[in-house]
Amino acid sequence: MTLSRRSFVAGVAAASLAGPGALAATESADPTPHPSKGLLGEGPPSDRFDPWLEIDQSALVTNAGIVSHLTGGRPILAVIKNNAYGLGLTQVAHILEPLESIAGFAVVKAAAALALREAGVRKPVLLMGLFSDEDGPELVARDIHLSLSTDDSASRAARAAERAGKQAAAHVYLDTGMSRMGIPYHRALPVLEAAAALPIRIDGTFMGFTEEPEFDREQLRRFTDLAAEARRRGASLGALHAASSNGVFHLPEAHLDMVRPGIALFGAYPSDWEAERAMAELVPAVRLRARVVRVQRLRAGDTVSYGRRYEASEPTWIATIPVGHADGYTSKAVNGAQILIGDRLYPVIGSVSASHTIIEVGSERTLDIGDVATLVGPDDPAIHPNALAATTSTSVYDVLMHLNSGLPRFLV
């Protein structure tokens, strides 16, 4: 059954920081806007030609509520790594933090964790990446939750706590078959027992899935069996969390005590997006936009851009948009992508250069310099992030995460 924005407004269960049993009030899909630091206002200047991003606050709130609904109101540890999937780290955190369903945030770099605290974010922040001895004391002092992902992480965390003069909080990171990060599950028990003897508060234990359906279930079995044995031996594990956005949709048994979605919060689907869309109608929370800077009529035989891959067979209008692959718009867009201007879609032609994209307008001039072009966003199915990824045979994660961090971001 599709969960639409309208049905969501009726209410979704939200979870508080108190843990998986402490479900709280509902959230609206159309809330009173929350203050958000780090954004440049409520829309770009009317004469701006350089590209920009628009961050849709109501879409972020809606998506958080949908994830909460899909997971039975479990607390959400919002993964905002890699500049919040391109939307802006601190901007997104300030929008999501007031929601009761958001238990905290997760990042993979120490600098990002500290940037959240510098920006005034108060909810728990989990650093999922490895931390150095140099960074450890400051991370502990700023109440950043550390990941215990190596055999010596617990002792490193204890040293950092001693130097910071306060107790360290941590989550244990277990490797159940992803072989990317974490303590291998088959030899993790002694590490868990050793950590229990140190002055470290264990607030959670987590893992990551390969997203291969059958093996995911084996990974989950390894994780829960190990957790059960560790608890039998008296180890404190805190909240168990395993499900990323893919697990939110496809592995409900992995929702456990808390869920850890990323891309779904931003309105894109993690894998089988048509099937996932039938389960819940997420709302893309970002638009990549610019204004038309050139409109020109080609003669028959004229060609376009590097490699002369497009040749006009008859007199044809074209237009130039000042967005290119340096801004994060995929160079593969010439393989069938379209751009929305007004209520019409125009195909990308030629080649996408670093700073410009050219579109075919047609035999009649139907647009002007200054018209707003939307390359990615929720306004037409053809420019949905997942549709652009499918059209260009790329990853939806690349569509979002490659958005240039230097682009200005406006709250809408």
User: Would 132 be classed as within a structural domain?
Assistant: yes
* Burial track 269-297 (b if 16+ CB lie within 10 A, e otherwise): bbeebeebeebbbbbbbbbbbbbbeebee
Segment 323-352, tens digit of pLDDT: 999 999 999 999 999 999 999 999 999 999
Residue 22 has pLDDT above 60, yes or no: no
Section 264-271 average pLDDT: 97
Give yes or no: residues 304 and 221 share one domain.
no
Single-letter residue type at 334: V
Give yes or no: residues 215 and 312 share one domain.
no
Structure-token pair, residue 68? 């909460």
Give yes or no: residues 139 and 208 share one domain.
yes
The reported pLDDT for the residue numbered 47 is 82
The answer to whether 91 touches 97, Cβ cutoff 8 Å, is: no
Domain, as residue range, for 135: 58-279
User: Would 156 be classed as within a structural domain?
Assistant: yes
Give yes or no: residues 120 and 256 share one domain.
yes
User: Would 216 be classed as within a structural domain?
Assistant: yes
Section 5-10 average pLDDT: 32
Give yes or no: residues 150 and 293 share one domain.
no
Residue 32 has pLDDT above 80, yes or no: no
Confidence of residue 199 (pLDDT cuts 50, 70, 90): confident
DSSP helix/strand/coil, 345? strand
Section 50-58 average pLDDT: 97
The reported pLDDT for the residue numbered 195 is 86
User: Would 122 be classed as within a structural domain?
Assistant: yes
Give yes or no: residues 294 and 329 share one domain.
yes
CATH number at residue 370: 2.40.37.10
Give yes or no: residues 246 and 378 share one domain.
no
Segment 344-402, tens digit of pLDDT: 999 999 999 999 999 999 999 999 999 999 999 999 999 999 999 999 999 999 999 99
- If one counts every other C-beta atom within 10 angstroms of the C-beta of residue 337, the result is 23
Residue 118 has pLDDT above 90, yes or no: yes
Residue 30 has pLDDT above 50, yes or no: no
Section 239-252 average pLDDT: 98
Structure-token pair, residue 360? 């075919």
Please give the tally of structural domains in the chain.
Answer: 2
pTM of the shown model: 0.89
For 285, residues 6+ apart whose C-beta sits below 8 A from its C-beta are: 55, 56, 57, 59, 60, 63, 87, 265, 266, 267
User: Would 178 be classed as within a structural domain?
Assistant: yes
CATH number at residue 145: 3.20.20.10
Q: How many CA atoms lie within 13 A of 389 on its CB side?
A: 20
The answer to whether 86 touches 286, Cβ cutoff 8 Å, is: yes
3-state SS track over 283-315: CCCEEEEEECCEEEEECCCCEECHHHCEECCCC
User: Would 304 be classed as within a structural domain?
Assistant: yes
The reported pLDDT for the residue numbered 44 is 72
From 253, 279, 305, the end of a domain falls on 279
Give yes or no: residues 267 and 320 share one domain.
no
Give yes or no: residues 266 and 293 share one domain.
no
C-alpha 280/C-alpha 24 separation (Å) is 22
